[in-house]
Amino acid sequence: MLDNYLPVLVFILVGILFGVGPLVAGFVIGPRRPYDEKLSPYECGFEPFGDARAPFDVRYYLVAILFILFDLEIAFLFPWAVVLDQIGLAGFLAMMVFLAILVVGFVYEWKKGALEWE
């Protein structure tokens, strides 16, 4: 099994090289004539108003939290999907109970308006 993953590891390294290579080439070949105006962040010609890293709507955190929970649900569904024809009705019902419990959460989320972007 591990033999299969050696190419994957090498591919990830090559992928990183394909990102670093062009950047290095750009630095070597491209010119380098910085001045203040050029290096200031783009803000429609204004001087930037302070730091751009401002606090953000809490809704984004909520989406990220819900994403984690649903991602976990998917991680639980993957092995089930693969062995479904072997574990029979009991295995199927086990997942239905699991999904039913989570659908309660999903309905709660929906009714509470956590999915609305106003």
Partner 1 sequence: MGAQGMLEGLPEVLVILAKIFAITLPLLGVVAYLTFAERKIIGYMQVRLGPNRVGPRGWLQPIADALKLLTKEIILPSASSRFLFLLAPVLAIAPALAAWAVVPFADGMVLASVDAGVLYVLAMSSVGVYGVILAGWAANSRYAFLGAMRSAAQMISYEIAMGFALVGVLMAAGSLNLEKIVLAQQGGVLSWFWLPLAPLFVVYFVAGVAETNRAPFDVAEGESELVAGFHVEYSGMGFAVFFLAEYANMVLIAALTAVMFLGGWLSPFEGLPAEVLGVPVLGPVLGPGLHWLAAKTSLLLLLFLWLRATFPRYRYDQIMRLGWKVFIPVSLLWIVVLGLAITTRVAPWLD
Partner 2 sequence: MTPVVLFYLFAGILVFAGLMVVTVRNPVHAALFLVLAFFTSAAVWMLLEAEFLSLALVLVYVGAVMVLFLFVVMMLDVQGAPLRQGFIRYLPVGALVAGVAALELYLVVGSDRLFGSQAFPLPQRAGAAYSNTQEIGAVLYTKYVYPFEIAAVILLVAIVAAIALSLRRRGDARSQRPGDQVRVRREDRVRLVAMPAEKGE
**Residues at the interface with partner 2 (CB under 8 A):** 1-6, 9, 51, 53-56, 58, 60-62, 64-69, 71-76, 78-80, 82-83, 86-87, 90-91, 94-95, 97-98, 101-102, 104-106, 108-109, 112-114, 118
Q: How far is the CB of 22 from partner 2 (least distance, A)?
A: 22
**DSSP alpha helix (H) spans, 1-118:** 2-29, 36-39, 59-112
Residue entry with tokens 């039913």 = 100
Binding site partner of 35, from partner 2, partner 1, none, Cβ cut-off 5-8 A by kind:
none
CB of 80 to partner 2, least distance (A): 6
- Look-up: residue for tokens 């062995």? 83
**52 Cβ contact list (under 8 Å, min separation 6):** 41
Asked whether the beta carbons of 41 and 52 are under 8 A apart, the reply is: yes
The entry of partner 2, partner 1, none that residue 108 binds, CB within 5 to 8 Å by partner kind: partner 2
